[in-house]
């Protein structure tokens, strides 16, 4: 593929670049304002990862904050060193999974029904997030709200202590890691192949694990926020017009420029974008992402709808994954049980 096809710049790349900001802005702002991360470092790290992801994939590849991790960290007001520890752990685990065929083997557990259920759950959560963004926008979107006033911090932070790693492992990593592998490794690979066909040949579970693993380790080491390649982000970028990694250059470059120029005030600057516009983009991406479930039929469709709705209702995609895995295994378990009963009856009859 020609370089210009991989990195074309046009109106679609511009509109696609802003498609996922309704997720990025509130979560980044929350980690800066509540947990004490440096706004400049958060945006520079995110921008660098966006550009790197576009470079290796040749696609408008998504980079998103880890939603479950961020939600828990903000709710519990965890310190920045705990978030850093979580990013390092998740990065290390994903990097290990990228070695050999481990990621490919684990990905087989995520059947098409489980993947579609997760995609439906993510889509519904995006629609819910869009409604909240439209009717009750976070304070960062309030033009009168004070910007983050902590000083610029470009020096590398020290490594977290042992207790930070323990806290991160139990409170942040355990709830996040299964969701990351299901939605941001297996599902994003599926969406990339369905959307871009042969152009997505570089996107494999191993490659995505390696990208997210290295990215999280590097970004966490400089004090940035843990991130992933969420499948909803790819849908959002594509549906709003992005077709090449030119989108990654535009978005990544803009984030880096904002981070360098405005430092810790960068989230407040991004917050000047109209929340209603971002909410509309987010809702559109959510509907398109949820609609991926439509290619299932019969029992599988029912399971995906049940599991996806359960996850959206509870706000926990781990529920979606567990329900889908259990439900999809039931027919096999029942068949084996019936076969066992028949065999027992035959043995009894012979006796």
For residue range 90-105, list pLDDT tens digits in order. 999 999 999 888 887 8
Closest CA to 289 of 100, 56, 129, 96: 129
Which pLDDT does position 229 carry in this prediction? Answer: 95
User: Which of 93-102, 161-170, 235-244, 280-289 has the least mean pLDDT?
Assistant: 280-289
In three-state secondary structure terms, 64 is strand
Residue 308 to residue 321: CA distance in whole angstroms: 8
In three-state secondary structure terms, 228 is strand
Name the band, by pLDDT with cuts 50, 70 and 90, for residue 178.
confident
Which pLDDT does position 323 carry in this prediction? Answer: 92
33 vs 346, which has greater pLDDT? 33
92 vs 178, which has greater pLDDT? 92
Q: Are 210 and 67 in contact (CB under 8 A)?
A: no
307-322 tens-digit pLDDT? 999 988 887 778 888 8
Residue 174 to residue 167: CA distance in whole angstroms: 11
Q: Are 174 and 65 in contact (CB under 8 A)?
A: no
Residue reference for tokens 């969406």: 191
Here the tokens at position 141 are 């979107």
Which pLDDT does position 1 carry in this prediction? Answer: 43
């Amino acid at each position: 593929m020609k370089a210009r096809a991989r990195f074309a710049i046009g109106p679609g790349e511009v509109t696609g670049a802003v498609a996922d900001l309704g997720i990025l802005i509130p979560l980044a702002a929350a980690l800066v304002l509540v947990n004490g991360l440096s706004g400049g470092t958060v945006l520079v790290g995110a921008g660098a990862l966006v550009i790197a992801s576009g470079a290796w994939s040749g696609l408008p590849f998504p980079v998103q904050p880890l939603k479950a991790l961020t939600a828990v960290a903000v709710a519990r007001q965890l310190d920045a060193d705990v978030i850093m520890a979580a990013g390092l752990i998740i990065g290390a685990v994903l990097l290990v999974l990228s070695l050999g065929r481990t990621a490919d083997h684990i990905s087989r557990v995520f059947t098409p029904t489980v993947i579609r259920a997760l995609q439906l759950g993510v889509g519904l959560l995006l629609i819910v997030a869009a409604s909240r963004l439209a009717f009750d926008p976070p304070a960062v979107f309030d033009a009168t709200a004070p910007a983050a006033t902590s000083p610029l911090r470009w020096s590398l932070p020290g490594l977290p202590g042992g207790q930070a790693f323990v806290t991160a492992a139990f409170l942040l990593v355990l709830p996040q890691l299964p969701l990351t592998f299901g939605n941001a490794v297996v599902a994003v690979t599926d969406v990339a192949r369905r959307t871009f066909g042969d152009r997505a040949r570089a996107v494999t579970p191993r490659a995505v694990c390696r990208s997210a693993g290295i990215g999280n380790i590097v970004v966490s080491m400089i004090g940035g926020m843990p991130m992933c390649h969420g499948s909803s982000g790819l849908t959002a970028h594509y549906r709003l017009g992005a077709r090449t990694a030119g989108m990654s250059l535009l978005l990544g470059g803009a984030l880096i420029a904002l981070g360098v120029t405005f430092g810790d005030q960068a989230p407040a600057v991004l917050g000047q974008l109209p929340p209603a516009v971002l909410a509309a983009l987010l809702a559109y991406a959510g509907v398109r992402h949820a609609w991926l479930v439509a290619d299932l039929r019969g029992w599988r469709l029912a399971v995906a709808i049940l599991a996806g709705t359960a996850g959206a209702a509870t706000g926990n995609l781990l529920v979606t994954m567990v329900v889908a895995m259990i439900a999809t295994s039931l027919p096999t378990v029942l068949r084996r049980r019936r076969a066992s009963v028949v065999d027992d009856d035959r043995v009894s009859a012979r006796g």
